[in-house]
């Protein structure tokens, strides 16, 4: 059971989005035409190449002494298939918030026998990698001040020396590829997603020997290595770097081109595969902080709390694996065993301030009067249709002092609907 999961932070719950989910491999640089959606059950294989960056710019800054300077650093990968030429540009200083004047580069000095060679080409420094190592380049030029009154008091048309120190680091080690990222739920080799509403973003990373993210200036940070995508889910390339997956269960596999690493995800896990769920019961805050409703608690009324008990799904498990998004609250129904104290009503999330995120339940218990409220949240389809049930009972006092703000359909005046079997 996942009772301990009830403390999972609420910011893990993403907002509902009524759109087709995208598995966003943003910027992977796919150059092929968008593939037509595959037929159900047909395995699709796509190759998304890594993307290279040819140029990077650094902005100069003015000094009180009347110079334009910059210290800059780039890290370049020298590996098979990676272009060995990279351009570094220097742009005008910002004066009064805007670029001003003119900049002319005059020469670049590189140490003899350095890991790189360097030359000027128009307004950029062209760096070519030769070997692994570091080199410090010095770029010299002239800055002519434009028509602005600020900028350390330089008059229009005045000339100032420009100097940039560029530290270049060249590596022959491309790092270890990984797909996912620290913003996802861990680095498991297989991480299922729960529902159709989510838009999981899988970032392509390179890791160094210490398993820390590694980046190179000449390699796109969102497409640092070539990856092959195989899927038995109907899939299409929505646009370069993004895969559009059909809303049905399946498996998606990613593999790096060099075969050093591979990852697989179960996509759109059906409720029957979800074995356990953590459920949080709470009283929403009306311009205030929500209050958790726990077993045996006594909660008093206050005008900063809505007059109802809500529930949300915080985490779900498929066996030993945790879902990477919140389970779908539509899998659950809410029942009251004490309708004389708290009556189940439908919630209008469009007007409810306490109903954020896809894990928010579509039902709540309206507090009719003081007393003990006993609730059950049940999902009959979960855990191989054996079901998952969560209960809570708490005492509510001074209910009349709760906020009267409406959060859903008013409590019915007729008899309580038939209760589900316990």
pLDDT at residue number 410: 46
Nearest to 245 by CA among 262, 226, 230: 230
| Residues making up the chain, counted from first to last | 422
Residue 15 has pLDDT above 50, yes or no: no
* Percentage with pLDDT > 90 across the chain: 38
Instruction: Name the residue with higher pLDDT: 94 or 56.
Output: 56
What average pLDDT does range 56-66 have in this prediction? 89
Cα–Cα distances in angstroms (integers) from residue 199 to residues 23, 147, 317, 332, 349, in the given order: 7, 48, 19, 22, 20
- Domains in the chain and their CATH numbers? 22-49+175-267 (no CATH), 55-171 (2.60.40), 272-401 (2.60.40)
Residue 136 has pLDDT above 80, yes or no: yes
What average pLDDT does range 328-354 have in this prediction? 84
| Secondary-structure breakdown of the chain: helix, strand, coil percentages, each rounded to the nearest 5 | 5, 45, 50
CB 222 within 8 A of CB 28: yes
pLDDT at residue number 205: 80
Cα–Cα distances in angstroms (integers) from residue 301 to residues 86, 298, 306, 401, 404, in the given order: 66, 10, 9, 5, 11
pLDDT at residue number 12: 30
Residue 418 has pLDDT above 60, yes or no: no
Cα–Cα distances in angstroms (integers) from residue 396 to residues 24, 91, 308, 348, 362, in the given order: 46, 65, 10, 23, 22
pTM (2 decimals)? 0.63
Cα–Cα distances in angstroms (integers) from residue 173 to residues 140, 170, 262, 302, in the given order: 32, 9, 19, 61
Which range among 143-152, 214-223, 233-242 shows the weakest confidence by mean pLDDT?
Answer: 233-242
CA distance 219 to 51: 6
């Amino acid at each position: 059971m996942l009772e301990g999961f009830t403390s999972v932070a609420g910011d893990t719950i993403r907002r509902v989005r009524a759109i087709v989910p995208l598995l966003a491999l943003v910027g992977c640089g796919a150059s092929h035409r968008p593939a037509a959606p595959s037929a159900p059950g047909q395995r699709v294989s796509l190759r998304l190449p890594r993307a290279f960056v040819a140029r990077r710019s650094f902005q100069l800054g003015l000094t009180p002494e009347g110079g334009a300077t910059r210290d800059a650093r780039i890290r370049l990968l020298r590996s098979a298939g990676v272009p060995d030429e990279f351009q570094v540009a220097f742009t005008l200083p910002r004066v009064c918030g805007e670029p001003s004047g003119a900049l002319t580069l005059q020469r670049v000095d590189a140490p003899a026998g350095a890991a790189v060679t360097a030359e000027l080409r128009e307004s950029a420094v062209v760096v070519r990698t030769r070997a692994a190592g570091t080199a410090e380049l010095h770029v010299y030029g002239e800055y002519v001040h434009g028509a602005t009154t600020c900028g350390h008091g330089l008059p229009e048309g005045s000339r100032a020396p420009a100097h940039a120190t560029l530290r270049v680091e060249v590596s022959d080690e491309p790092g270890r590829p990984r797909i996912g990222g620290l913003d996802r739920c861990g680095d498991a080799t297989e991480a299922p997603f729960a529902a159709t509403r989510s838009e999981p973003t899988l970032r392509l990373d390179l890791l160094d020997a210490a398993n820390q993210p590694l980046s190179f200036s000449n390699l796109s940070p969102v497409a640092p290595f070539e990856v092959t995508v195989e899927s038995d889910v109907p899939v299409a390339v929505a646009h370069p770097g993004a895969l559009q997956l059909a809303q049905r269960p399946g498996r998606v596999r990613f593999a790096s081109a060099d075969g050093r690493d591979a990852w697989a995800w179960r996509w759109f896990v059906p409720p029957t595969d979800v074995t356990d769920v953590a459920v949080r019961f709470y009283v929403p805050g009306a311009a205030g902080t929500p209050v958790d409703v726990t077993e045996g608690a006594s909660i008093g009324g206050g005008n900063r709390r809505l007059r109802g008990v809500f529930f949300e799904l915080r985490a779900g498990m498929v066996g030993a694996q945790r879902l990477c998004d919140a389970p779908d609250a539509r899998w659950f129904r809410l029942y009251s065993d004490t309708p004389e104290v708290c009556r189940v009503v439908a919630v209008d999330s469009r007007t409810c301030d306490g109903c954020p995120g896809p894990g928010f339940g579509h039902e709540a218990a309206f507090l009719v009067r003081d007393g003990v409220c006993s609730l059950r949240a049940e999902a009959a389809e979960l855990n191989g249709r054996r079901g998952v049930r969560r209960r809570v009972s708490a005492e509510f006092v001074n209910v009349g002092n709760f906020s009267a703000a409406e959060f859903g359909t008013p409590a019915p005046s007729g008899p309580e609907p038939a209760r589900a079997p316990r």
